[in-house]
Structure 1
Amino acid sequence: MAEVQIRRYEDEDDEDVKDLFTLGMSEHVPSSCLHVLKQPHTQMLLACVFCALLASSKSFLLPILAVTLLLAAGRQGVNYIFSQYIQTSLSLDLKNIRQTYLERPNSCFWVAESQGRVVGTVACLPAERNEGCLELKRMSVKHSHRGQGIAKALCRAVSDFARERGYPAVVLYTSIVQTDAQKLYEHMGYRKVREFVVPELMARITNFTLFEYRLDLQQPEN
């Protein structure tokens, strides 16, 4: 295994970081499609369309074609939602990483570097919804480098940073389809404190749930 270095973000990492973020988010499309298919109202809709067309056309071809088109349309819808989120992120905090994470107090952005390439990222900044806490953001590890402890090292970078600055806890948000991330955070001592459905209409329809995790930090005794 090639040696991996966890270090602070540098300006020349910009393209690699954005590519890694885009690829990492795109990986969630298939699992999100599967999540939508598991919803009872989705299954009911597909079954109703199939049965109605089968009864009216007396042919299997038309209902099968209709259901196939609905599935394709659903995947395109999920693709669109993720594409919009990626573009929004690239135009907000990831547009100028140095300004967002390195020039503001109590914020930072780290990369994991292997053989001169960025293979992982994580960031943190003061939490907006949890006053007095630090929020972990932009955790991502390249698929080819997973299972090597990189994500754990990135998590520790954030918790150590928070302790050094006297924060009592680190919070983060992850989605229902990011099961590997949930296992990682729970292994690192985070506990799930809240779950809620994303307020956008499409997310409510598909029951797309977000989980809030919290890591309480013990401050060293003087």
Structure 2
Amino acid sequence: MAEVQIRRYREEDHEEVKEVFTLGMSEHIPSSCMHVLKQPLAQMFLGCVFCALLTSSMSILLPVLAVTLLLAAGRQSVSYMFTKYIQTCLEQDLNHIQQTYLDPPTACFWVAESQGRVVGTVACLPAEKDQNFLELKRMSVKKTHRGQGIAKALCRTVADFARERGFRGLLLHTSVVQTDAQKLYEHMGYQKVSEFSAPEAIAKLTNFTLIEYQLVLKQHRN
């Protein structure tokens, strides 16, 4: 197993950071599509379309074709939702990492480096809803390097940073389909505090929810 170093972001990391984040988010498209298909509303809609076309056409070909096209359209909609989210993240902060995370003293951005390549990322900055908390953001580890404890090490790095600067705790948001991330955060001591619908219309229709986790830090005693 190659040695992994966690260090502060440098400008030359930019393209690799974008790649790690983009690929990591894109991996959730298939599981999001499955989540949509498991929803009763989606199943009822597809079933009604199939039965209506089967009854009216007296042929199996037309309803099968129609349902296939609807499934393809649904996948495109989910892909669009993720593409839009990735683009928003790039515009909000990932194209301005120095200004967003490194210039302010209470924010930071780290990368996990292995054999000269960026294989993981994480960042934090003061939470908008509670300035006593830092928000953990942009957590991602390359698929080829998972299972090596990198995500846990990144989580601990953020926790140490927050503790050293006197923050009460950390909070973060993840989605209902990111089950591995949920397990990681719960293993690291985070508690689920709320669950709410993502703002996009398709997310509301398909019950695609976001989950907020919170970790209250224990301060080291001198």
The interval holding the TM-score normalised by the smaller chain is over 0.9
Structure 2: gaps spanning 5 or more residues: none
Q: Deviations over 1:47-77 (max 9, x none)?
A: 0000000000000000000000000000000
Instruction: Indicate the percent of aligned positions where both proteins have the same amino acid.
Output: 73
Corresponding residue SS for 1:170: strand
The yes-or-no answer on 1:40 pairing with 2:40 is: yes
Q: Which aligned pairs between 1:197-208 and structure 2 lie closer than 5 A?
A: 197-208=197-208
The yes-or-no answer on 1:86 pairing with 2:105 is: no
Residue 175 of structure 2 corresponds to 175
Q: Which aligned pairs between 1:91-110 and structure 2 lie closer than 5 A?
A: 91-110=91-110
Instruction: State the alpha-carbon separation in 1 of the partners of residues 35 and 214 from structure 2.
Output: 25
Q: Which aligned pairs between 1:15-26 and structure 2 lie closer than 5 A?
A: 15-26=15-26
Matched to 1:142, the amino acid is: K
What is the CA distance between 1:220 and its match in structure 2?
2.2
Structure 1: gaps spanning 5 or more residues: none
What is the CA distance between 1:203 and its match in structure 2?
1.1
Residue 148 of structure 2 corresponds to 148
Instruction: State the alpha-carbon separation in 2 of the partners of residues 26 and 85 from structure 1.
Output: 10
Instruction: State the alpha-carbon separation in 2 of the partners of residues 29 and 76 from structure 1.
Output: 10
Residue 163 of structure 1 corresponds to 163
Instruction: State the alpha-carbon separation in 2 of the partners of residues 117 and 150 from structure 1.
Output: 14
Matched to 1:133, the amino acid is: F
Q: Deviations over 1:173-209 (max 9, x none)?
A: 0000000000000000101011111132211101111
Residue 188 of structure 1 corresponds to 188
Matched to 1:139, the amino acid is: M
Deviates more, 1:196-205 or 1:145-154: 196-205
Matched to 2:126, the amino acid is: P
Deviates more, 1:163-172 or 1:129-138: 129-138
Runs of 4+ in 1 over 6 A off after TM superposition: none
Deviates more, 1:111-120 or 1:198-207: 198-207
Matched to 1:90, the amino acid is: L
What is the CA distance between 1:104 and its match in structure 2?
1.3
Q: Which aligned pairs between 1:102-121 and structure 2 lie closer than 5 A?
A: 102-121=102-121
Instruction: State the alpha-carbon separation in 2 of the partners of residues 33 and 86 from structure 1.
Output: 17
What is the CA distance between 1:132 and its match in structure 2?
1.3
Instruction: State the alpha-carbon separation in 1 of the partners of residues 76 and 214 from structure 2.
Output: 34
Residue 59 of structure 2 corresponds to 59
Matched to 1:104, the amino acid is: P
Corresponding residue SS for 1:92: helix
Computed over aligned residues only, the root mean square deviation of the Cα atoms, in angstroms, reads 0.7
What is the CA distance between 1:46 and its match in structure 2?
0.2
Matched to 1:69, the amino acid is: L
Matched to 1:206, the amino acid is: T
How high is the TM-score relative to the length of structure 2? 0.98
Instruction: State the alpha-carbon separation in 2 of the partners of residues 199 and 114 from structure 1.
Output: 36
Instruction: State the alpha-carbon separation in 1 of the partners of residues 32 and 148 from structure 2.
Output: 26
Residue 135 of structure 2 corresponds to 135
How high is the TM-score relative to the length of structure 1? 0.98
